Structure 1
Amino acid sequence: MLHHVQLTCPPGSEPALRDFYEGVLGLAEIPKPPALAVRGGCWFRGHGIELHLGVEADFRPARKAHPGLLVRDIDRWAKRLNEAGYPVAFDDDFPGMRRFYSEDPHGNRLEFLEPLP
């Protein structure tokens, strides 16, 4: 069983992370343990996943590695991201799934999947 997925972010990017992960994706920020909070970043939970965003001084976005987020009503998710100004790129390359790729405010790749009926 998977506990969480870690992505990285640039220093000082917590406001943009909160706007995206809370405001757009509807995840709840959860407190980091005090020993880890001093390092910066944010942790989020919701929709059956926990994401940790950790600060990396020489940050480079994950363009290939990514979390695959299983969702319901994938078209609603695509619309939500599109309306917030984030890219949505559907493809048909995963048999049995509808899926699209997007990215967070720092360019980290995110995959959204919904099983076909």
Structure 2
Amino acid sequence: MSYAFVGIDHVQLAAPAGCEEQARAFYADLLGLPEIPKPINLQKRGGVWFKCGNHEIHIGVEAAFKPARKAHPGFEVNDLPALRDKFIQAGLPVVEEEQIEGRLRFHTEDPFGNRLEFIEYL
């Protein structure tokens, strides 16, 4: 085999047209992910990109948008209880997940209804 997987470069989440300011408010302002510029040739499509550790989160515009309810990214974080508290203080839903040995986890939704899971390894 001449190729090898290195990892995941980015995760794409869909959102409706005109989503950019809501995406910035959630992903940049609330979560603290830095926005990164989209390549000039892709800017006309709308959407916005963010840096998440060594990876990227791309929020892309989808004409017939429907939120992802089952498929979802799982974000690894440090101090999951602090993030949970931040969501609760912001009035966002926090849904406790069945725990997996060695991990804490919960999920919520972004402003567009996409499921997002947050995980801390113990």
Q: Give the counterpart letter for 1:107 in structure 2.
A: G
Q: How many percent of aligned residue pairs carry the same amino acid?
A: 51
TM-fit CA distance, 1:93: 3.5
The answer as to whether partners of 1:3 and 1:50 remain within 8 angstroms in 2 is yes
Within a 5 Å distance, the mapping from 1:87-98 to structure 2 comes to 87-98=93-104
Distance 1:61 1:30, change over 3 A: same
Instruction: Work out whether 1:24 is the aligned partner of 2:60.
Output: no
Within a 5 Å distance, the mapping from 1:42-53 to structure 2 comes to 42-53=48-59
Aligned equivalents of 1:30, 1:83: Cα separation in 2? 27
| Aligned-partner SS, 2:45 | coil
TM-fit CA distance, 1:81: 1.4
TM-fit CA distance, 1:103: 0.8
2:71 matched to which residue of 1?
65
The answer as to whether partners of 1:26 and 1:46 remain within 8 angstroms in 2 is no
TM-score, with structure 1 as normaliser:
0.94
Structure 2 residue runs of 5 or longer lacking an equivalent are 1-6
Q: What does the per-residue CA deviation read over 1:10-51, in whole Å, with 9 as the maximum and x for residues that have no partner?
A: 000111000000011000110001111100000001344310
Q: What does the per-residue CA deviation read over 1:71-96, in whole Å, with 9 as the maximum and x for residues that have no partner?
A: 01000010111212211111233222
TM-score, with structure 2 as normaliser:
0.90
| Aligned-partner SS, 1:101 | strand
Instruction: Work out whether 1:112 is the aligned partner of 2:118.
Output: yes
Instruction: Work out whether 1:34 is the aligned partner of 2:40.
Output: yes
Q: Give the counterpart letter for 2:121 in structure 1.
A: P
Whose Rg is larger? 2
Structure 1 residue runs of 5 or longer lacking an equivalent are none
